[in-house]
Structure 1
Amino acid sequence: MKTQIEQDGIVTLTDETHNQLSGSDLWNEDLRPTTMKEHSWKGVNFATLWIGMCLCIPAYTMASGMMTLGMNWWQAIGTIFLGNVIVLIPILLNSHAGTKFGIPYPVFARLWFGDKGAHIPALARAIVAAGWFGINTWIGTEAIDTLLSASFSSWNGLAGHTAIVFALFWLLNVGVAYKGPQAIKVLGAIAAPVIGISAIILFIWAYTNSGGWGPILSTPSKFTSTREFLAVFFPALTGVIAFWATLALNIPDFCRYARSQKSQMVAQTFSLPLTMSIFSFIGIAVTSATIVIFGEAIWDPVALVAKFPPFIIFLGTIVIVLSSLTINVGANIVAPARAIENLNPKKITFAMGALVTGIFAILLQPWYIMSNFGNYIFGWLGTYGALLGPIDGIAIADYWLVRRRQMALKDLYEVNGRYSYSTGFNKNGIYALVIGVAIPVLGLLIPGLRFLWDNAWTFGLFISIIVYTYLMRGDKSVLAPGEYEEITLKTSEKPIIDSQTADPTITK
């Protein structure tokens, strides 16, 4: 029986199968597969998405931390570019699954962990996203606090003024997300040009007012040997990779709306590494100019904004707040809210998930994570990179090596389907995750194996790929030869009737 239709490389459910599954406990309007009508995102939508997310303060200041550790400007930019090219590979590999089958990340995880086991990678991603939500909320808080301090002399004398701003900005973020994940498309369309133009204006201002590039671009590296450089390079590279390792997992949340594989691949390939590298260079160049203009290196754009007249502070704060709000709603609320919703699709709504995410973000104490660069890149980025690398590897191994891009879409939504496995958990996925995390952790315990931890994301990725592929040999959940063709109607013609008309939503 044909249960799915493949048209131009995109698979959707037949109308009959769609209607049959609508009553399943694993099904709701947010988690169901997208319809052909909903595959409407063009390449420009993905480019705008990445540009809007990359133009954020953590990206602006990333190179500064590496230079503080001893790198010169081109070593820092090179590390950032290389890290983003590396993480782009799993992003594109997982994008293919989202584009072809129209499924969000929690449903994709059912494929390799089981319908119950999927909560493990989904909630792991959710915890990281909640942490980032707190970080960006804290960054926006500092910007607003700076504006109020510059505009009202009595503001700094108000007890708990920063906490008040944090609470209000937290409510704004959760409030926007509460309305639904589609908000990211509107915010991205506004934020990308506004923040991009603002960055260019800041760059021009810095160059013209300093009479050149400033001293930082001529400052040599502090490393006297290759060994000294590599001791900093590899942890920094892992930090860069980990920065977007979150999106490498739940990129299907966006690509499930892609019009074609080519459009999303080309757009993502150019927009991610180039935007991150260029924006980081702007951060370095502007900071270099501040030494000439103000007599000190100002890496923090919030502190830099405070040096200007009140009206410029007002405009700068709007840009910073818009940046923090955009990346929060898109990258840091939708994914965990969807993961929480997946715990009980029939009872938990996306709005409830967004609220829980916001509360958990506070518990992670973002002010501590951002208190110094060591907490940020070695503690925060390094630690969750060690967790997400193996999950990335399992996802890639399952889709590309074990199943070879073929699956029964309807079984992802059946409680007793083939992807429920025997107990709702795919033990092979759990074993591969534990091994993929445990081996890099040895680098924390054994000094001679420190390189394992310094490259935890990379080692975890490849270890889990090897282990998972080996354990899944001959697994019953894999479609038998010819079975995909038996359940799939392949056509190049658009369906004459499409009863699946639910409005598209956007996830991340």
Structure 2
Amino acid sequence: MKLRRPHLRVAQSQSAFADGNSRWTNLDLDPVPRSGRLWGPLSFLSYWISDAFNAATWQFASSIIAVGLSWRESLGIVALSFFIISFVISANGAVGAIYHIPFPVIARASWGFWGSYIAIISRSILAVFWFAIQNVNGANAVKAMIGAIWPSFLTMRNTIPENQGIETNTMIAYLIFWIVQFPFLCIHPNKARWLFVAKSVIVPVAWIAILIWAFVAEGAGPIFEQKATVTGSEYSWVFLASMTSVLGNYATLSVNQSDFSRYSHVSPKWQLLYIPLLPVIFTFISFIGIIASSAGWSRYNTPTIPWDPIVLISHWSSRACRFFGAFSFALASIGVNISANSISAANDLMALFPEYVNLRRGQIICGVLSWALVPWKILISAGNFLNFMSAYAIFLGPIAAIMLWDFWLIKGRKYDTLALYQPTSPVYRFNAWLVNWRAVVAFLVGVVPSLPGLMNSVNDQIEVGVGVHPYQFGWLLGFVATGLVYVVLSMVWPVREALVGRAVLADEVYGLREVEGVELGDGDGDVVRIGNIGVGKEKGFVGA
């Protein structure tokens, strides 16, 4: 077998989208051709079930209870948050299903080519952070698996300084989990969908079994008697802050669902499935976390409720149950890392460096960067966990709003796919700097009010007074304020070149690519040149 010599540059697209334009695309950034659209209803359903079943979802409600609310309010916050964000995920995911392009390319329509980097970099940072956090969750699961087989591993002498926030055996488990996960970083999303199918069967069965155990063992424990410990205005702000934290957890997918929906071969209407599906699934998993943790507290007489599922599993007497229970959480971490984090980060890195990074390289870079973020320190307490989730939500809420209103209202659902790859085209050029100032101004309006609270959450020695409150509902504030400002600015100062008369779909470009040297029109003489090809400008008809 002849081995190919590795190259620093990745394979470049030979399509019309990349003609004389390798700086802005490569094979993986191009619109997905018909042959690559393999995702159907089963793929999307298993994708979301896979994405939902992870340790972070298990701990949503428990983290909210830990800061003073009751179990009822915790589940209500989870359900309401996912009901809200499901609309945004569906709306932005539909763009990928229609045009078969990823988030970084879609962002060019509203931000401009260089302006889109604001959205891309913001999203990529959170994706890499979440990848690292899921690695810690996976490492804890692997540690429990090894401990079930080799009990002395759990009492191994620690040689890492205490101030580092991690012990030797956990670091070993972290390395093992990372190595096992690594091959999955090298596969294409079309192949990864089978991982999601497998996880959506194995993990739910295991977790429902844990739920049954909780009711049989202790009748769910004393959690139903628990009351909120905060009242008055403090209750309101804790409620909003907790809601922002839950929204922040899936703020990435509210902007980049198109990274997966672009592989769809079914109607974009299937994206509406998320609206009833997400609140039900995520609330149910949070319910499992509450009931199982409460039962464990009652049964094992622990000083505090074992909100961490791995801590709960460690009390089980059966080593086989400990092993397979921990295995379900390890598999859950791998699945969600691929579905929500590594592929998302890869698309962003690919958009930043298309000549050197493709999907595979981008995922590998994400995996390597995760080591530098010391994520185990983020997960030390429930408060830190919520602060982290809130932090980047204040940036991604405004980004999601700009994308949503730009497509569905300002542009009237009409994008010129080819122009999104050609900065020389006047359609999405905006100005000499290739930046849409309307999006930048709207983004700042949505983000700036939350910055004092963000600084206070990072360093509580910085006193900001009531300035902390906008941060506590930063996603909602940013989404609404940014959306309103962007729509007003875009209507008062419209970019007429970007208001195309008809949508130009990828299939038109791919379908006409082979017809070179022939000028095609719509019968009225209106022709748009695509390299050596023409596409009718105003009507849906494209013909000779």
Into which bin does the TM-score normalised by the smaller protein fall? 0.7 to 0.9
1:222-262 deviations in Å (ceiling 9; x for gaps): 23x34232121000000111111110000011222331122
TM-superposed CA distance for 1:146, in Å, is 2.2
What is the correspondence of 1:287-306 to structure 2 with a 5 Å cutoff?
287-296=293-302, 297-306=305-314
- Partner in structure 2 of residue 436 of structure 1: 446
- Partner in structure 2 of residue 97 of structure 1: 95
- Partner in structure 1 of residue 469 of structure 2: 451
1:132-170 deviations in Å (ceiling 9; x for gaps): 111110011111112223432442325423222212322
- Kept in 2, the 8 Å contact 1:183–1:329? The answer is no
- Kept in 2, the 8 Å contact 1:116–1:420? The answer is no
Which shows bigger deviation, 159-168 or 56-65?
159-168
Equivalent residue for 1:227, pick from 219, 233, 236: 233
- Partner in structure 2 of residue 345 of structure 1: 354
- Kept in 1, the 8 Å contact 2:54–2:332? The answer is yes
Alpha carbons of structure 1 residues 73 and 411: separation in structure 2 relative to 1, 3 Å: same
Equivalent residue for 1:470, pick from 488, 492, 510: 488
What is the correspondence of 1:44-55 to structure 2 with a 5 Å cutoff?
44-55=42-53
Matching of residue 273 in structure 1 with residue 279 in structure 2: yes
- Kept in 1, the 8 Å contact 2:94–2:269? The answer is no
- Partner in structure 1 of residue 374 of structure 2: 365
More RCO (CA 8 Å, sep 6+): 1
Which runs of 5 or more structure 1 residues have no equivalent in the other structure? Answer: 1-16, 501-508
TM-superposed CA distance for 1:41, in Å, is 2.9
AA matched with 1:347: Y
- Partner in structure 1 of residue 223 of structure 2: 216
User: Equivalent pairs: percent with the same residue?
Assistant: 26
TM-score by length of 2: 0.82
* CA distance, structure 1, for counterparts of residue 147 and residue 29 of structure 2: 44
TM-superposed CA distance for 1:330, in Å, is 1.3
Equivalent residue for 1:171, pick from 171, 174, 179: 179
Which runs of 5 or more structure 2 residues have no equivalent in the other structure? Answer: 1-12, 160-167, 457-462, 516-544
- Kept in 1, the 8 Å contact 2:148–2:323? The answer is no
1:357-394 deviations in Å (ceiling 9; x for gaps): 1232222221011110111112x111101111111111
AA matched with 1:453: Y
Alpha carbons of structure 1 residues 477 and 461: separation in structure 2 relative to 1, 3 Å: farther
TM-superposed CA distance for 1:175, in Å, is 3.0
1:67-86 deviations in Å (ceiling 9; x for gaps): 12222111110011001111
- Partner in structure 1 of residue 399 of structure 2: 391
Alpha carbons of structure 1 residues 367 and 126: separation in structure 2 relative to 1, 3 Å: same
* CA distance, structure 1, for counterparts of residue 326 and residue 176 of structure 2: 15
Please state whether the residue corresponding to 1:370 is helix, strand or coil.
Answer: coil
What is the aligned-residue RMSD (CA, Å)? 2.5
* CA distance, structure 2, for counterparts of residue 172 and residue 122 of structure 1: 28
- Kept in 2, the 8 Å contact 1:176–1:183? The answer is no
TM-superposed CA distance for 1:405, in Å, is 0.8
AA matched with 1:218: E
Alpha carbons of structure 1 residues 489 and 218: separation in structure 2 relative to 1, 3 Å: closer
AA matched with 2:237: A
Matched pairs, number: 474
AA matched with 1:396: L
Higher CA-based Rg: 2
Alpha carbons of structure 1 residues 358 and 477: separation in structure 2 relative to 1, 3 Å: farther
Which shows bigger deviation, 425-434 or 310-319?
425-434
Matching of residue 20 in structure 1 with residue 16 in structure 2: yes
TM-score by length of 1: 0.87
- Partner in structure 2 of residue 256 of structure 1: 262
Equivalent residue for 1:72, pick from 66, 70, 76: 70
Please state whether the residue corresponding to 2:263 is helix, strand or coil.
Answer: coil
What is the correspondence of 1:81-160 to structure 2 with a 5 Å cutoff?
81-155=79-153, 156-157=155-156, 159=159, 160=168
- Kept in 1, the 8 Å contact 2:259–2:347? The answer is no
TM-superposed CA distance for 1:431, in Å, is 2.2
TM-superposed CA distance for 1:118, in Å, is 1.9
